[in-house]
Structure 1
Amino acid sequence: MQKWFETSLGQYLLEEEQSYFDQAVINIFGYNALQIGFPQLNFLCANRIPYQFRLGISPGASFYALPDFLPIESGSMDLVLLPHILEFNSNPHQILREVHRVLMPEGHVLISGFNPFSLWGVTRYWKTVRNEFPWYGQFIALPRLKDWLKLLDFEIVGGRLGCYAPPFSKEKWIKRFHFMEAAGDRWWPISGGVYFLHAVKQIHGMRIIKPCWENKLSTKRKIVPATQKFKNTVK
């Protein structure tokens, strides 16, 4: 995995992801931020939250743990990043449930994933690269991921797609097809190799409406005809 990120294609992906995460997290505030997966990469560097942690099982992690069962207090995180962790785990639903648990109400989650309906998604069916990173991952379709988030009461507030150029292994071909980045957003926006989602945790509560008995009684006491008072005094 680390070797792949050092290739030309891996650097191309990292530049796209770092650009998105820098723009998305810069105005998110709070006390605690967590990045799950790829701890050797710091996607929280543009954020100003004072306490930042990177969770994983490889060097660079703040603490070692699996994303399925987070050793973190419920409702304690303001921001959680999931860079490509869902498609390389056997139980992505459990990871999302854990993220929902540790996030505080109105907490933010940012997700990046490989789009199966793209040139990147087609590449994983080639026999020569089928067992290599990242092509062996279980790519999750964007509509399906949105449905999972809605079931957990997340509200999707932003996102986009990127990496429209074909996943060439050589740098010169990646640069030659770089024009597809601008053209992709305009002409085929759903075919980007990578998608990004920004969602906010929503908590639906209820408001108990109590009858205002005291106000009703006080208004009834005040409504006394002045003429009746005058007649009683005359008698």
Structure 2
Amino acid sequence: MHDWLASPPGQYLLAWERVQMAQAVANVFGYHALQLGLPELDALEANRMPHRWLATPTPAEATILPQESATSPRVALVTDFSALPFSANSLDLVVMPHALELSADPHGVLREVARVLVPEGRVVICGLNPLSMWGFCQRRPNWFSWMGAQRLLLPSAGECIGYLRLRDWLSLLNLEIEDSQFGCYRPACSSQAWLQRFNWMDKAGARWWPILGSVYCLVAVKRVRSMTLINPARKAVRRLAVAPVTVANSSGNMRATGQNDIQT
């Protein structure tokens, strides 16, 4: 996928995702943020957290830097995305640009992200939409050879994860979708000239077929449901009122007294 990202459609994809990431992470506050994969995109550039890391699955990818951040290297660590070296409830923000599609265990990656996120923490996910022209090109690359898109967008082991399918996975982990956007409606042409010919499809697609965008970007929040314990023992004890009664003393006189004065 790294070679494809250097092509005109790959740059077109990165440009759209860079804008969406900047809007999604700009107003997310906290202390610790993590980006999983895709070092070509500095997804945390617009974020202002003091601690920001980039995690890659291989050492070779840790040396890749985006053109915009070539003078300011980011902290990179090599780890398995399904076994992150962070304690539970320790990260405020996790950004996943195409990390699920390129992972052999996307369910395990999502569970691990839900584990390390703090309550009300956010996760930003970008992925290719299978219900789009690019998704169809991923499954039938030879059908679009006339546009030069004979190569797969994702590696042969990669799989496009649909938006509705991902939404069900997130709901099982108590990750509530806060915002979602679709984009990149142009065909995956191999030349910049062909991409410019279809630039009108971005505005038309956003208006007439928004859910058929080639790429989606969503923001989900980790919700932790709290409860208030109702303890009957904490209720105030209702005391009986002391009613006066008439008793006779040893001298035979009658007087009114309370129950506390009665001696047996």
Alpha-carbon spacing, 1:201–1:130, altered in 2? closer, same or farther (3 Å) = farther
Q: Tell me, which stretches of 5 or more residues in structure 1 are unaligned?
A: none
Q: Does 2:75 align with 1:98?
A: no
Q: Tell me, which stretches of 5 or more residues in structure 2 are unaligned?
A: 65-74, 245-254, 258-264
Q: How does 1:1-235 map to 2 (within 5 A)?
A: 1-56=1-56, 57=58, 58=61, 59-60=63-64, 62-124=76-138, 125-127=140-142, 132-134=152-154, 136=156, 137-211=158-232, 213=234, 215-217=236-238, 220=239
CA contact (8 A) 1:77 1:104 kept: yes
SS in 1 for 2:236: helix
CA RMSD of aligned residues (A): 2.2
Amino acid at match of 1:152: L
Range with bigger deviation, 162-171 or 174-183? 174-183
Amino acid at match of 2:19: S
Q: For residues 206 and 3 of structure 1, what CA distance do their matches in structure 2 show?
A: 50
Amino acid at match of 1:15: A
Alpha-carbon spacing, 1:183–1:72, altered in 2? closer, same or farther (3 Å) = same
Alpha-carbon spacing, 1:214–1:153, altered in 2? closer, same or farther (3 Å) = closer
Alpha-carbon spacing, 1:175–1:92, altered in 2? closer, same or farther (3 Å) = same
Q: Deviations over 1:5-51 (max 9, x none)?
A: 22111110001000000001101000000000113421100011110
Q: CA deviation at 1:134?
A: 2.2
Q: For residues 141 and 215 of structure 1, what CA distance do their matches in structure 2 show?
A: 55
CA contact (8 A) 1:36 1:55 kept: yes
User: What percent identity do the matched residue pairs reach?
Assistant: 42
SS in 1 for 2:232: coil
Q: For residues 173 and 232 of structure 1, what CA distance do their matches in structure 2 show?
A: 107
Amino acid at match of 1:182: K
Q: For residues 180 and 224 of structure 1, what CA distance do their matches in structure 2 show?
A: 85
Q: For residues 175 and 72 of structure 1, what CA distance do their matches in structure 2 show?
A: 44
CA contact (8 A) 2:35 2:95 kept: yes
Q: For residues 141 and 194 of structure 2, what CA distance do their matches in structure 1 show?
A: 19
Q: Which has the larger radius of gyration?
A: 2
**Aligned residues between the structures:** 227
Task: State the partner residue of 2:70.
Answer: none
Amino acid at match of 2:173: L
Amino acid at match of 1:109: V
Q: CA deviation at 1:150?
A: 0.4
CA contact (8 A) 2:141 2:152 kept: no
Q: For residues 13 and 54 of structure 1, what CA distance do their matches in structure 2 show?
A: 20
Q: For residues 62 and 120 of structure 1, what CA distance do their matches in structure 2 show?
A: 30
Alpha-carbon spacing, 1:66–1:215, altered in 2? closer, same or farther (3 Å) = same
Q: Deviations over 1:201-235 (max 9, x none)?
A: 11223321123656344xx47x779xx7xx969xx
Q: For residues 77 and 133 of structure 1, what CA distance do their matches in structure 2 show?
A: 31
Q: Deviations over 1:60-83 (max 9, x none)?
A: 561111111111111100000110
SS in 2 for 1:89: coil
Alpha-carbon spacing, 1:40–1:190, altered in 2? closer, same or farther (3 Å) = closer
Q: CA deviation at 1:130?
A: 6.8
Amino acid at match of 2:22: D
